[in-house]
Chains A and B, each alone.
Chain A
Amino acid sequence: MSVVVVGAGPAGMTAALNAARAGAEVLLVDSSNALGGKYHQAPPEQFGLAQPQRIRRAQGSFTTLAEEIGAHPRIRRLSGGVRSLDGHDVHVSTGPGDAGETFHADALVLATGAHDRVLPFPGWELPGVFTAGAAHALASGQRIAVGSRVLVAGTGPLLLPVTESLLGVGADVVAVLDAGSPTAWLRRAPDLAGQWDKLAGFAGYLRRLVGNTQFRTRAGVVAAVGEERVKEAVVAKLDARWRPVPGTHRRIPVDAICVAHGLEPRLELARAAGCEIEDGFVRVDGAQRSSTPWVFAAGEATGIAGARAAAAEGAVAGLAAAVHVEATTWREVEKPARRAMLVVRCGQRFGRAMASATRIGEDWNEWLTPQTVVCRCEEVPYQALRDSAPAQRDASSLNLSCRVGLGSCQGRMCGRNASELAENLIRTSAKEPPVA
């Protein structure tokens, strides 16, 4: 009757609570001591905040949820990382070295969330270039500003909350550059129409940014300049395919650059559990069940659709997992599950619209130079990729020939970029047969 929930963000919290309410014994594992994940990130208790409501999103509903999880007799919380998955046994490392515990899971709910995707550009390995998520985590979780003069660049709605949290710790945000185009959002207007709370949220962010920074669309950072650390950012206007427009390059003195080109789901555990991955996300059915019958997935791992949809997916997954471990019956949980499924469907529609509006331009490789590091861990330059890619037939064999994605991050930061670049290179080399 035990359900293991991995990740305590919006999806994991509701999954744990709903499974426990339905009668299952729940273990909630998260790498952080605090509940809320990255979405509800706040400074630790030891900081003794007098005004915590000024930082946390949706403070009221979060507090009630967190209190109920903390007080629930059937929920056990554990801070640590899931090291491996061995059949139904989940190994959780709780300390340095080999310290850890093993739990039996009759059902597993993966709410592992996502991290930022960052497209490489010359100089992106310099200290002072951060993911937007890092800037947000440090600002809202530790009250650290990553720099005094910060440039925020990339694409997607994530840039606005990041900018706001940077402004909140007193950093000067020189500019916010979104490579996407506003017309892409307008074209998707019918799908966005139902999401008034999200639109109001974005409008609110934009209103608070006016006068404090400048917001530009169809522009991006194409290089970072500096020796030991970032001194200048080179920005340029981008066309619809994300090619830098000649003659629009500007050098801006900054001491930090925060970049995010959308989100990348964390799928290591889903892969380890043998779940089918479709278009980069875990494929789930209406009950959030993956292709492995005892594994459920919720939140950004199944599609990027925002916190409200993630929480609804978590609720469905938690109830379905409780039914799976026979803590309850489907008839008893049908009503709340169907209500949550409705929110999930709305959220998915919004997610699809957002994904197509914030699509990454095809020709972003135009701003790369031969020396640009593609894989940060192994320091593989773009030239190495260009040399070895045409000899390969598909992108998956690339890592063996030039060590892309074999470093300590296991390809989590560079894997998708490298395979996209390789596909591009293989395609172009197929078009132009080599000379003699």
Chain B
Amino acid sequence: MRDLFWGSSISPVGSIGNRAHRARVRAPCRCRSRRWRLLTGPYLLPAHLDPVQPRYQASFAVEVDGRRVTAHAGQTVAAVLMSLGLTSWRESGGRGRRRGLFCGIGVCAECVLVVNGTPGVRACLRSVEPGDVISTRGREERG
């Protein structure tokens, strides 16, 4: 990697795993394959690549826009959506621009969405529960 302001050798394609991380993860795996190398956007670090070695105690299905996806107990709604690679799940009230998570700690109300029919749920704070129906299509009403 060359200096940012003096010529660039930065490749346009994202890849999972930086040097420090690769050094800590022992066995090579399929995640190094092409699919992961071409990855862009947010992702959930696969458990077998994670230095803290999570062993999810419970996994269950939730529904995201009619699609059944697997979620782990303890994940927030935002984490479930971002593990699917989503960055935005709302349209702003005024100009209808896409919006997603911003502050991540329940301050900004950017990440609100509809869960089980209840609007205005903060995705960054709400933990998923089995059978949750999450909708990312709801357009915010301007109050």
Contacts and interface: CB of A to CB of B under 8 A. Distances in A.
Contacts of A256: 41-42
Most buried by B among A136, A169, A216: A169
Contacts of A173: 18
Contacts of A285: none
Contact of B4 (A45, A143, A216): A216
B2 to A, nearest CB: 9
A212 B95 contact: no
Nearest to B90: A127
A48 B41 contact: no
A242 interface: no
A338 to B, nearest CB: 34
A39 to B, nearest CB: 12
A38 interface: yes
A130 to B, nearest CB: 6
B40 A170 contact: no
Nearest to A169: B45
Contacts of A250: 4-5, 8
A144 interface: yes
A193 to B, nearest CB: 31
Nearest to B8: A250
A222 interface: no
B20 interface: yes
A29 to B, nearest CB: 14
B14 A148 contact: yes
Contacts of B118: 96
Interface of B: 1, 3-5, 8, 10, 12, 14-21, 39-45, 49-58, 72-76, 78-79, 82-83, 87-88, 92-95, 97-110, 112, 118, 121, 124-125, 127
A201 B143 CA distance: 47
A138 to B, nearest CB: 6
Interface in A48-87: 48-52, 54-55, 81
Contacts of B8: 250, 252
A167 interface: yes
B83 to A, nearest CB: 6
B82 A138 contact: yes
7 contacts: A51-B52, A125-B99, A126-B98, A168-B21, A171-B18, A229-B88, A377-B110
A253 B10 contact: yes
A236 B52 CA distance: 36
A115 B45 CA distance: 25
Given A46-B73, A214-B4, A145 B45 contact: yes
Contacts of B4: 174-175, 214, 216, 219, 235, 250, 252
Contacts of A48: 54-57
A214 B9 CA distance: 13
Contacts of A252: 4, 8, 10
A49 B53 contact: yes
B72 A47 contact: yes
A258 to B, nearest CB: 10
Contact of B104 (A96, A137, A235): A137
Contact of B18 (A55, A137, A170): A170
Most buried by B among A46, A133, A148: A148
A148 B15 contact: yes
Contacts of B5: 216, 219, 237, 248, 250
Nearest to B55: A48
A169 B54 CA distance: 12
A183 interface: no
Interface residues of A, number: 75
A167 B21 contact: yes
A212 B24 CA distance: 13
A127 B55 contact: no
B133 to A, nearest CB: 15
A379 interface: yes
A44 interface: yes
Most buried by A among B19, B57, B93, B110: B110
Nearest to A408: B109
Contacts of B12: 253
A172 B74 contact: no
B73 to A, nearest CB: 4
B99 A138 contact: no
A129 interface: yes
Interface string A354-370: 00000000000000000
Given A54-B51, A148-B14, 4 more contacts: A129-B102, A144-B82, A213-B18, A255-B14
Given A138-B82, A412-B107, A413-B107, A167 B20 contact: yes
- 7 nearest CB pairs, A to B: A134-B104, A148-B14, A46-B74, A44-B74, A127-B88, A50-B53, A408-B109
Nearest to A235: B4
A191 B79 CA distance: 41
A164 to B, nearest CB: 9
B52 A376 contact: no
Contacts of B54: 43, 47-50, 143
A116 B103 contact: yes
A324 interface: no
Contacts of A407: 109
Given A147-B40, A148-B14, A379 B94 contact: yes
B82 A146 contact: yes
